[in-house]
Amino acid sequence: MTQRGRPALARARCRIPAPRCRKNALLCLVSIAQLRRRRLTSLRALGPLRGRHTNMPVSKRSDTASTRRDKPTVYYAHAMCIYRRKAERDELRTIRRRIRGARIVNPARYANHPEKLADTMSFCLKLVDGVDIVVFSRLLGKITAGVGKEVNHALKRRKPVFEIVGRKLVRRTRVVRHITRGATIVLYERWRYHQGWGR
């Protein structure tokens, strides 16, 4: 039996004499599989490859990427005075309960970002552009200046907008009215007083 028509790699790895290859085809395939496994082991020993190449199969990489894409990204618009406070934690819990598997974009995490320090509103509106859903909350029944701009910007971009009402999310489709920046600062102080910080 000649091996002229077989790939060079298979010919080189087949150590079984030609007359016996047909009877021992399974052994030949096993030996090739073992050599391939040794080659993969040696490649992995060299360490992870840089760039886009990884040891993960393409199918698994695509599945992971699609899973990440399937998870909705939610921008959480809320007053700055409740950043890292219990009120914020409670509202984040509500969002996670109502939108399962959501990846939440919280502007409080970007407090020291250079672009946000340079232009807070412009930076936050860019964050809004990059999400799927916007969820906002009121402060003492009022929509603060920054939150109102973020909500209206999202509505203009035709993004779904929801308001946190108690432990529920209520859909909002119309442009919201919000207080001015000066009134927002006064409202911050009023909220802090109600929390017992000003006493």
Structure confidence by residue, pLDDT tens digits, 86-95: 999 999 999 9
The domain of 158 spans 67-194
- What confidence tens digit (pLDDT) does each residue in 25-82 have? 444 444 444 545 555 454 444 344 333 333 334 344 434 444 455 789 999 999 999 9
By the 8 A CB rule, do 165 and 135 touch? no
Least confident of 55-69, 79-93, 128-142, 169-183: 55-69
Least confident of 20-34, 74-88, 114-128: 20-34
Contacts of 128 (CB under 8 A, 6+ apart): 75, 77, 134, 150, 153, 154, 157, 159
Q: How many domains does the chain have?
A: 2
**Is residue 87 domain-shared with residue 148, that is, in the same domain?**
yes
**Is residue 189 domain-shared with residue 111, that is, in the same domain?**
yes
Query: Is 0.85 surpassed by the pTM of this model?
Result: no
Which residues partner with 103 through β-bridges?
73
CA dihedral 21, 26, 31, 34 (to 10 degrees): 160
**Is residue 165 domain-shared with residue 89, that is, in the same domain?**
yes
Tokens of 64: 């992971």
**Is residue 157 domain-shared with residue 124, that is, in the same domain?**
yes
- The CA R_g of the chain, rounded to the nearest whole Å, is 30
pLDDT at 195: 85
**Is residue 179 domain-shared with residue 138, that is, in the same domain?**
yes
**Is residue 22 domain-shared with residue 118, that is, in the same domain?**
no
**Is residue 83 domain-shared with residue 172, that is, in the same domain?**
yes
**Is residue 43 domain-shared with residue 76, that is, in the same domain?**
no
**Is residue 164 domain-shared with residue 92, that is, in the same domain?**
yes
By the 8 A CB rule, do 52 and 110 touch? no
